């Protein structure tokens, strides 16, 4: 790709920095990891990653991460809407709180959530009354993943919503469209890309999350055993190769999810570009 | 109008209760545990020499990670939004990938590259360069887990803004830096600020990846989250939560600073 | 165009990044750098989690002793974490002078990496384990479920907390202790043993990843009727809340032998072998044994053991070597993928 084709200068410069940084901090270390574990051979690799228990681990991780990301997507839209469009006492505080899940080390979050949702906890009691097992169940895993993923959707949607030009909205209002229709037809399409980004990030983060989940999961094989825990299990037996095999498959699966979502976003942008 | 108000109130209610249940309650619990043995014990566990050293190390690693990731974040977001090129989707997904990698595995990446099993190890030994089980490793691991934040924060905003202004400026002969400074930066400064805040918060709290490369040497390579883990594992529940509350307080300070910056610039705009 | 020279700028960024990394490395690490020059002023003991108090006290005493003897002032550093993870760190390049881990299997991993002699276990007395512990039960006050021995744990009405032996080195002792009990009870009939172990683990309410997590589940969250725990940790929990818990000593348990060893290649490079040897020998001295006993580990020294005999009730203890043919074999039979532990959960 020749830089001359680009109208805005700086293509090679930004490409240079991006590629250099990515290679140094991510690609090369990752290759070192894959290379180190490549000694195991295809047979072992396949037998490790198709083990029934490992497959179930993937299933639990992906399912819980998906549900958690969806919940965060739903509330993320509401949160950013409320934060950008409404003024009410405590808005600033609510806004400030959203980033906090990141600052809390995941293990602390895990311990706090488990205390909260165990049968003796403030919220666990309520669930217990209702006959629902909240901690030490897939529900508990999902709750932990919701916690670690709260900031993603809100923080992606919020800036876009804030910068949205009011003209289209006002025009629609002039034509007598209901608020809900305006949201659905005018605003939401603008928010879909950041929403998808936030969803993808929360989902990806959920798949790999270990620290907070391990306390609340219960870790029962074939029930609440997550894939990252299985990686730790392998490492604890000094089975670097087995751990790497599980990790590599997880990486590939997550990469595919990210690729799909990013691809869809590009597709939407392109379509819009033509329409405009 | 009445319906509007109803929608408004119920949305606010929904948002507030979600945050209260999912976020405020766990944080309250941390506070409760931290103060369980009274304020003296709380203050004590924070001023202990090892805790202070862990705090300093955490701040060092955070500043380094945020600095590098800001440079990278701006450059890569610019790249992803201002140009069309083959493999863009692929690149965007690669940038996201560090999120999906279990932090423990991320730590192992650096162990395999700089640790004893690495071909680089003899060279590093000979040069007396320590990367893993020392501070550089901690910084690398922190950078890794926070790598996508700023890019991801900037891309949607820059995409929504399109390229027209930049292209116009370029056609008038402005160079890249000027375009960035005069046109792009004012448009993305809020997103950048949010990205930096998120990145800072996450960098401070990172545990898994750092835990693998740190070596856990008390007072030397223990960051705050690692210090918390050790306190917890030696049955010192109260101190563990006390130190955890410090991280929350740090995060709150950062948020206050962010809000202050926003407020001041808004005042400036309205003054104009 | 400014950007023609982007190679220069990229090169500039590279050097800034590298320089910054090296600077933080050298600056923040000055103590390490010094230690490399003078060779011996820093000493690192890589240990596992619940030994912090023990070694904090021990290092202080030993440091005074060493200074009195040689005049050298040594800076003793401690690293604590999960035993297996600590072993991995040392094998991956963490420069420990000595390791003091939860089980021999973890030290074997360090030896396997080529950092120490394969025969490390015979370098010091008593299997290189200067202090020991055992596996006991922590139950709620008054022992409402009347749990007396291992066979009570397979009752349908008992709910158990124990960490996962696959992620927690300490928990492997729990598993083996239970195994040994049922083996003796069933005269070595392996199928009967497996059946009982399976029942026992069906009663496990939460399979935490580490000993500490399991204790929290039991103590803080009120999960389970009984916690299978190391004696030193059970005593600690009971000390924290004497009105809430009781310790039950089973009829048979295992002699948990936390291993200590010198990391040969590190001490030879740093020139700290003498110091490391003195350090470990001091663990076997009456003073060292007293410190271990004070921190709830069973001392090897007869006189010290006699002094603390109220704290450590007598029971029948078997060793991993006698009952399981050593750690390598125990690991292979029970805890590797597909071993007896995995069979419990096999579909």
- C-alpha–C-alpha distance, residues C250 and C236, integer Å: 18
Chains that touch B (3 or more CB pairs under 8 A): A, C
Q: Which CATH architecture has domain B31-271?
A: Orthogonal Bundle (1.10)
Contacts of C94 in chain B (CB under 8 A): 133, 215
Residue C135: what are its φ and ψ, rounded to 5°?
-105, 125
**Residue A45 pLDDT level (bands cut at 50, 70, 90):** confident
Of all residues in chain B, what percent carry a pLDDT higher than 90? Answer: 25
- ipTM score of the complex? 0.81
Residues B101-148: tens digit of each pLDDT: 888 889 989 998 998 888 888 888 888 888 999 999 999 999 999 998
Q: Helix (H, G, I), strand (E, B), or coil: what is residue A156?
A: helix
Report whether pLDDT(C20) > 70.
no
A115 shares contact with chain C (CB less than 8 Å)? yes
- Considering CB atoms only, which of A26, A112, A158 is closest to B29? A112
Average pLDDT over residues C319-328: 92
- Measured between CA atoms, the residue of chain A closest to residue C328 is A237
- Contact yes or no for A237 and C13 at CB 8 A: no
pLDDT at A164 (0 to 100): 83
Output the CA angle B76-B144-B127, nearest 5 degrees.
110
Average pLDDT over residues A112-117: 88
Report whether pLDDT(C40) > 60.
no
- Contact yes or no for A116 and B118 at CB 8 A: no
The whole-angstrom distance between A95's CA and the closest CA on chain C is 32
Q: Lowest-pLDDT range, A141-150, A186-195, C34-43, C282-291?
A: C34-43
Contacts of B140 in chain C (CB under 8 A): 21
- Contact yes or no for B235 and C212 at CB 8 A: yes
What are the helix and strand counts (H, E) for chain A? 15, 0
The whole-angstrom distance between A59's CA and the closest CA on chain C is 16
Residue A102: what are its φ and ψ, rounded to 5°?
-70, -35
Report whether pLDDT(A179) > 90.
no
**Residue C29 pLDDT level (bands cut at 50, 70, 90):** very low
pLDDT at C167 (0 to 100): 83
Average pLDDT over residues A46-53: 87
Report whether pLDDT(C37) > 70.
no
Average pLDDT over residues C152-169: 91
Report whether pLDDT(B214) > 70.
yes
Residue C45: what are its φ and ψ, rounded to 5°?
-105, 115
- Contact yes or no for C28 and B215 at CB 8 A: no
- Contact yes or no for C345 and A53 at CB 8 A: yes
Average pLDDT over residues A140-154: 92
- Contact yes or no for C33 and B128 at CB 8 A: yes
B 15-34 near C (Cβ less than 8 A): none
Residues C253-311: tens digit of each pLDDT: 999 999 999 999 999 998 999 999 999 999 999 999 999 999 999 999 999 999 999 99
The whole-angstrom distance between C187's CA and the closest CA on chain B is 38
Chains that touch A (3 or more CB pairs under 8 A): B, C
C 21-60 near A (Cβ less than 8 A): none
A258 shares contact with chain B (CB less than 8 Å)? yes
pLDDT at A1 (0 to 100): 40
Report whether pLDDT(A121) > 90.
no
Average pLDDT over residues A12-35: 89
CATH number of A60-226: 1.10.3720.10
Q: How far is CA B155 from the centre of its chain?
A: 17
- Contact yes or no for A235 and C84 at CB 8 A: yes
- Measured between CA atoms, the residue of chain B closest to residue A11 is B79
Winning range, highest mean pLDDT, from A117-121, B92-96, C82-86, C116-120: C116-120
Contacts of A228 in chain B (CB under 8 A): 102, 104
The CA distances from residue C46 to B33, B182, C96, in Å, are 29, 54, 6
> Choosing among C108, C221, C328, C338, which should be mutated to test the A contact, i.e. which has the most A CBs within 10 A?
C221
- Between residues B235 and B85, the one the model is more confident about: B85
Contacts of B16 in chain A (CB under 8 A): 90, 94
- Contact yes or no for C20 and B233 at CB 8 A: no
Of all residues in chain A, what percent carry a pLDDT higher than 70? Answer: 96
Task: Give me the residues paired with residue C256 across strands.
Answer: C133
Residue C308: what are its φ and ψ, rounded to 5°?
-105, 20
**Residue C24 pLDDT level (bands cut at 50, 70, 90):** very low
pLDDT at C293 (0 to 100): 95
- Between residues A120 and C343, the one the model is more confident about: C343
Report whether pLDDT(A275) > 50.
no
Q: What is the DSSP string of C159-204?
A: -EE---TTT-HHHHHHHHHHHHHHHHHTTT-HHHHHHHHHHHHHTE
Return the domain boundaries, chain B: 31-271
Average pLDDT over residues A145-167: 88
- Contact yes or no for C85 and A118 at CB 8 A: no
- Considering CB atoms only, which of B14, B144, B206 is closest to A26? B144
A204 shares contact with chain B (CB less than 8 Å)? yes
pLDDT at A3 (0 to 100): 41
Two tokens at B122? 């003899």
- Measured between CA atoms, the residue of chain C closest to residue A125 is C221
> Choosing among C1, C2, C3, which should be mutated to test the A contact, i.e. which has the most A CBs within 10 A?
C3
The whole-angstrom distance between C195's CA and the closest CA on chain B is 33
Q: What is the DSSP string of A4-22?
A: GG-SSS-HHHHHHHHHHHH
pLDDT at C152 (0 to 100): 95
- Considering CB atoms only, which of C3, C28, C53 is closest to B176? C3
Sequence-separated (6 or more) residues with CB below 8 Å from residue C148: C248, C250
Residues B71-81: tens digit of each pLDDT: 999 999 999 99
Average pLDDT over residues A246-270: 87
Contacts of A53 in chain C (CB under 8 A): 342, 345
pLDDT at B126 (0 to 100): 85
- Contact yes or no for B94 and A194 at CB 8 A: no
Report whether pLDDT(B212) > 90.
no
Residues C216-257: tens digit of each pLDDT: 889 878 889 999 999 998 998 888 888 899 999 999 999 999
pLDDT at A176 (0 to 100): 83
Q: What is the DSSP string of C13-56?
A: HHHHHHHHHHHHHHHHTHHHHHHHHHSSSEEEEEE-GGGHHHHH
Report whether pLDDT(A258) > 70.
yes
A176 shares contact with chain C (CB less than 8 Å)? no
Average pLDDT over residues A88-116: 85
Cβ-based neighbour number of residue B269 at 10 Å: 8
A 59-118 near B (Cβ less than 8 A): 75, 78-79, 81-83, 86, 88, 90, 92, 94-109, 111-113, 115-116
- Considering CB atoms only, which of C88, C204, C347 is closest to A222? C347
Closest CA to B206 of A155, A101, C93: A101
Average pLDDT over residues A97-103: 83
- Contact yes or no for C347 and A238 at CB 8 A: no
Report whether pLDDT(C111) > 90.
yes
> Choosing among A236, A237, A239, which should be mutated to test the C contact, i.e. which has the most C CBs within 10 A?
A236
**CA atoms within 13 Å, Cβ hemisphere of B188:** 32
Report whether pLDDT(B234) > 60.
yes
Closest CA to C209 of C250, C168, C243: C168
- C-alpha–C-alpha distance, residues C258 and A199, integer Å: 46
- Give the number of beta-carbon pairs within 8 Å between B and C: 107
B133 shares contact with chain C (CB less than 8 Å)? yes
Residues C66-87: tens digit of each pLDDT: 999 998 999 999 998 888 889 9
- Considering CB atoms only, which of A17, A33, A100 is closest to B248? A100
The whole-angstrom distance between B174's CA and the closest CA on chain C is 9
Q: How far is CA B189 from the centre of its chain?
A: 17
Contact C166, C126 (CB under 8 A): no
Report whether pLDDT(C142) > 50.
yes
pLDDT at A276 (0 to 100): 39
Closest CA to B154 of B76, B99, B89: B76
Contacts of A6 in chain B (CB under 8 A): 82-83
Q: Lowest-pLDDT range, A77-81, A177-181, C65-69?
A: A177-181
pLDDT at C136 (0 to 100): 96
- Contact yes or no for C22 and B136 at CB 8 A: yes
Return the domain boundaries, chain A: 60-226
Residue B77: what are its φ and ψ, rounded to 5°?
-65, -40
Contacts of C221 in chain A (CB under 8 A): 114-115, 118-121, 135
A228 shares contact with chain B (CB less than 8 Å)? yes
Average pLDDT over residues B146-168: 87
Winning range, highest mean pLDDT, from A118-127, B148-157, C270-279: C270-279
- C-alpha–C-alpha distance, residues A240 and B138, integer Å: 21
- C-alpha–C-alpha distance, residues C342 and A147, integer Å: 32
A214 shares contact with chain C (CB less than 8 Å)? yes
- Considering CB atoms only, which of C6, C342, C347 is closest to A16? C6
């Amino acid at each position: 790709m020749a830089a001359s084709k680009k109208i805005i200068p700086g293509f090679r410069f930004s490409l240079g920095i991006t590629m250099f940084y990515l290679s140094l901090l991510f690609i090369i270390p990752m290759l070192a990891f894959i290379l180190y574990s490549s000694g195991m051979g295809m047979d072992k690799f396949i037998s490790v990653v198709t083990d029934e228990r490992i497959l179930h681990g993937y299933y639990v991780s992906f399912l819980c991460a998906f549900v958690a990301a969806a919940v965060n997507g739903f509330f993320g839209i509401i949160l950013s809407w409320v934060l950008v469009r409404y003024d009410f006492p405590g808005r600033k505080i609510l806004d400030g709180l959203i980033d906090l899940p990141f600052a809390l080390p995941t293990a602390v979050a895990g311990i706090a959530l488990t205390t909260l949702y165990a049968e003796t906890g403030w919220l666990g009691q309520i669930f217990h009354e209702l006959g629902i097992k909240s901690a030490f169940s897939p529900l508990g895993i999902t709750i932990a993943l919701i916690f670690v993923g709260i900031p993603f959707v809100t923080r992606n949607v919020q800036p876009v919503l804030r910068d949205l030009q009011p003209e289209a909205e006002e025009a629609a209002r002039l034509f007598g469209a209901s608020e809900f229709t305006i949201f659905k037809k005018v605003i939401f399409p603008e928010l879909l890309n950041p929403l998808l980004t936030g969803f993808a990030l929360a989902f990806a983060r959920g798949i790999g999350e270990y620290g907070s989940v391990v306390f609340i999961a219960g870790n029962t094989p074939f029930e609440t055993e997550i894939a990252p825990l299985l990686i730790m299990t392998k490492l604890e037996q000094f089975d670097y190769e087995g751990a790497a095999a599980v990790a590599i498959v997880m990486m590939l699966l997550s990469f595919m999810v990210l690729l799909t979502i990013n691809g869809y976003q590009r597709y939407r942008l392109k379509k819009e570009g033509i329409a405009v | 109008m009445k319906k509007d108000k109803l929608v408004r109130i119920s949305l606010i209610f929904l948002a507030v209760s979600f945050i209260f249940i999912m976020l405020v309650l766990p944080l309250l619990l941390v506070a409760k545990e931290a103060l369980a043995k009274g304020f003296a014990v709380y203050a004590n566990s924070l001023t202990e020499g090892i805790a202070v050293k862990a705090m300093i190390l955490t701040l060092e690693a955070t500043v380094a990670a945020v600095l590098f990731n800001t440079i990278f974040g701006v450059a890569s977001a610019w790249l992803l939004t201002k140009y069309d090129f083959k493999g863009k989707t692929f690149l965007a997904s690669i940038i996201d990938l560090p999120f999906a990698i279990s932090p423990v595995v991320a730590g192992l990446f650096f162990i395999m590259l700089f640790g004893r099993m690495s071909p680089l190890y003899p060279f590093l030994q000979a040069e007396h360069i320590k990367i893993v089980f020392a501070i550089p490793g901690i910084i690398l691991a922190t950078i890794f887990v926070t790598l996508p934040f700023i890019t991801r924060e900037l891309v949607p905003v820059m995409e929504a803004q399109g390229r027209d202004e930049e292209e116009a400026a370029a056609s008038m002969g402005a160079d890249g830096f000027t375009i960035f400074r005069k046109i792009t930066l004012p448009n993305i400064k809020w997103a950048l600020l949010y990205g930096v805040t998120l990145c800072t918060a996450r960098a401070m709290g990172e545990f898994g990846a750092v835990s693998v490369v740190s070596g856990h040497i008390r007072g030397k390579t223990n960051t705050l989250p690692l210090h918390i883990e050790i306190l917890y594992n030696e049955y010192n529940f109260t101190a563990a939560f006390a130190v955890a509350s410090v991280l929350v307080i740090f995060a709150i300070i950062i948020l206050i600073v962010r809000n202050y910056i926003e407020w001041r610039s808004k005042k400036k705009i309205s003054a104009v | 165009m400014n950007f023609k020279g982007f190679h220069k700028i990229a090169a500039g960024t590279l050097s800034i990044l590298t320089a910054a990394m090296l600077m933080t490395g050298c600056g923040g690490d000055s103590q390490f750098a010094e230690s490399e020059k003078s060779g011996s002023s820093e000493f690192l003991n890589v240990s596992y989690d619940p030994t912090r108090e023990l070694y904090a006290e021990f290092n202080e005493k030993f440091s005074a002793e060493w200074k009195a003897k040689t005049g050298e002032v040594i800076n003793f550093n401690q690293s604590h974490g999960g035993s297996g993870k600590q072993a991995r760190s040392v094998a991956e390049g963490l420069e420990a002078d000595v390791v003091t881990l939860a089980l021999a299997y973890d030290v074997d991993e360090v030896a396997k990496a080529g950092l120490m002699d394969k025969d490390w276990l015979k370098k010091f007395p008593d299997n290189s384990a200067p202090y020991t512990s055992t596996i006991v039960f922590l139950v709620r006050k008054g022992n409402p479920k009347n749990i007396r021995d291992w066979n009570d744990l397979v009752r349908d009405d008992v709910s158990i907390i124990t960490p996962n032996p696959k992620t927690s080195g300490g928990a492997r002792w729990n598993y083996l202790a239970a195994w040994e009990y049922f083996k003796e009870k069933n005269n070595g009939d392996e199928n009967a043993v497996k059946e009982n172990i399976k029942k026992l683990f069906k009663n496990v309410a939460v399979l935490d990843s580490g000993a500490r997590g399991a204790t929290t589940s039991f103590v803080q969250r009120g999960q389970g009727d009984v916690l299978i725990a190391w004696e030193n940790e059970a005593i600690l929990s009971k000390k924290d809340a004497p009105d809430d818990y009781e310790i039950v000593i089973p009829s048979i348990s295992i002699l948990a032998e936390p291993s200590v060893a010198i990391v040969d290649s590190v001490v030879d490079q740093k020139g700290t072998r003498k110091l490391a040897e003195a350090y470990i020998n001091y663990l076997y001295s009456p003073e060292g044994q007293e410190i271990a006993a004070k921190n709830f580990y069973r001392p090897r020294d007869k006189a010290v053991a006699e002094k603390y005999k109220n704290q450590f009730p007598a029971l029948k203890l078997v060793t991993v070597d006698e009952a399981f043919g050593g750690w390598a074999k125990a690991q292979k039979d029970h805890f590797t993928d597909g071993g007896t532990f995995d069979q419990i959960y096999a579909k």
